[in-house]
Structure 1
Amino acid sequence: MRPYHVAAFALAVIANLTWTTPTVAQEVRINGAGASFPFPLYSAWFRHYNRITSGVRINYQSVGSGAGVRNLINRTVDFSASDAAMTDAEIAEVQDGVVILPMTAGQAALASADLSSDDLRIWVTDPSDPAAYPIATFTWMLFFRSHGNDRVAEALRDFVTWAMADGQGMAEELGYIPLPEILVKRVLAQVPDIQ
């Protein structure tokens, strides 16, 4: 066989293998960091969601609310979480905007909360007693309004939708308060804003 026939044959074999080998989808890896108060619940959510969702892995580090907000502003994470809703000044620092969604609440939060806030930054005054516990507030997840990675944004929208349905059922057994239906509906209405 002539050398150019061998080369042509080898190229044909390689081309055939390339065209017939199925493409393996790359796993979507999502990294978040922030609030420590909801970590037991968020950790349970992410473990469960990772188990039931093929091709998506969410990793969350409990580093504290302030560090989580700073990580979001610096774009070193895909999402963040905070025990305090972001201030207007912090929101202004997030390039392309932020979507702030309440996910769960501490024990006294719902009793004293005004649920009519337009932007879902629902403020609850913590008790003045320094020995007061647990935290009497909502906890929020913070997402980029424009993430820049469509696959990550889609997976985060799917996760929040799951958390508002199935995830809320896990809250009470871990010592958190599931969101009332009125807030669940409002959160779900904002899920498409996570781009």
Structure 2
Amino acid sequence: MKLLAKSKKSVLLVSVLMSAMSLSVAHADLKLNGSGASFPAPIYNKWFKDYSKQTDGVRIDYQSKGSGAGIRDFINETVDFAASDAAMKDSEIEQVKRGAILLPMTAGEVVLSYNLKGVEDLKLPRDVYPEIFLGKITMWNDPKIQAANPGIKLPDQKITVVVRSDSSGTSYVFTNHLSAINADFKSAVGGAKSPNWPAESRIVKAPKNDGVTATIKQTPGAIGYIEYGFAKLTKSPTAMLENQKGKFIAAGSEGGAAALATTDFPTNMLPGSDVPDLRGWATDPSGEAAYPIATFTWLLVYKDQEDDKAKAMQDLIEYMVTTGQKSAEEMGYIPLPENVVAKVRNAAKMIK
């Protein structure tokens, strides 16, 4: 009887161990591929690496290639998820055969980084920086810039404008902001992921946020738009921008949070879907302390998925809106407000 009992225990133990091993192998084989925006790439890569370490072998590969490319990959179903700073248009969402869920996953600010030797705390009024990107203000010692910076001797130097060469959500956010505050910019350029910039001879193009950041650093007299996290990571100087209330605000968590507090989300569903529409914008925030260019950035996931990937994606999203948010501020991003976290959790339940 003792031998029989021992035999049963041994069989049970082997069975448990084999089940655990098979589960481990299943998890070890699970890989999620994503692509898209460079704006959130630094924090996404940290989250994905940390999450993979804490789970039983789930691997996540993310290619930072720009929002436009990410949306194309998502529509063509060549990835498991994508990321974009320009939330998908209705016409794009309707092309996703497996159903789209758009989740604001983090937020950040678009800053104007510059390369002027010895110049710190540069201030740019809201009637000035759109004209720089229109090619109407071409010198750093232009009277309009100098008037906003009486304590700084600005150089008699041409302004070189650095913009994105790829289809970019950062470009989309930036040009929509400029269109909101400057009628000439709206009619000449408008909001776009791939803008047609005027005064091409003054413009230098570079791919992704890191490419623009590097080009500004290498080009005396340059100015360009990048995500604040890249500026913080590379210790690049950024201009204080005048907001709607006439206050010059530096980028940072406080100004960004104040901007996002003015964001309204739609009350309807995504087109042809029962999924909540979480496309909210802060194109020209009205808050007294608001930094003027802030945005959410979206994770694009399929509503219809294989069971194992659906569960893994839901677990990953829960990690991103909880543990992940704790590292947002130190990396130059804005933690999601609690009401937005609740919206994301509710929408993520629809992944099947």
Task: Letter of the 1:81 partner, please give it.
Answer: A
Count how many residue pairs are aligned between Structure 1 and Structure 2: 171
1:77-134 CA-partner distances (Å, limit 9, x unpaired): 000000011110000000021010000111345144224654111123269xxxxx99
Which of 302, 312, 321 aligns to 1:164? It is 321
Match of 1:187 in 2: 344
Match of 2:304 in 1: 146
Q: Map 1:82-97 to 2 at 5 A.
A: 82-97=84-99
Change (3 A) 1:167 1:180: same
Change (3 A) 1:126 1:70: farther
Is residue 2:197 matched to residue 1:47?
A: no
Gaps of 5+ in 2: 1-13, 110-255, 269-276, 286-290
1:136 shift after superposition? 2.1
Asked if the contact 1:106/1:134 (under 8 Å) is kept, the reply is: no
Task: Letter of the 2:38 partner, please give it.
Answer: S
| TM-score (norm. length: structure 2) | 0.46
Match of 1:69 in 2: 71
Which of 264, 270, 273 aligns to 1:114? It is 264
1:194 shift after superposition? 1.5
Q: Secondary structure at the match of 2:294?
A: coil
| TM-score (norm. length: structure 1) | 0.80
List 4+ stretches of structure 1 deviating above 6 A: none
Which of 38, 41, 44 aligns to 2:40? It is 38
Asked if the contact 1:126/1:137 (under 8 Å) is kept, the reply is: no
Percent identity, aligned pairs only, is: 51
Task: Letter of the 2:57 partner, please give it.
Answer: G
1:44-77 CA-partner distances (Å, limit 9, x unpaired): 1001001101131111110100000000000000
Gaps of 5+ in 1: 1-18, 128-132
1:153 shift after superposition? 1.2
RMSD: 2.2
Asked if the contact 2:266/2:279 (under 8 Å) is kept, the reply is: no
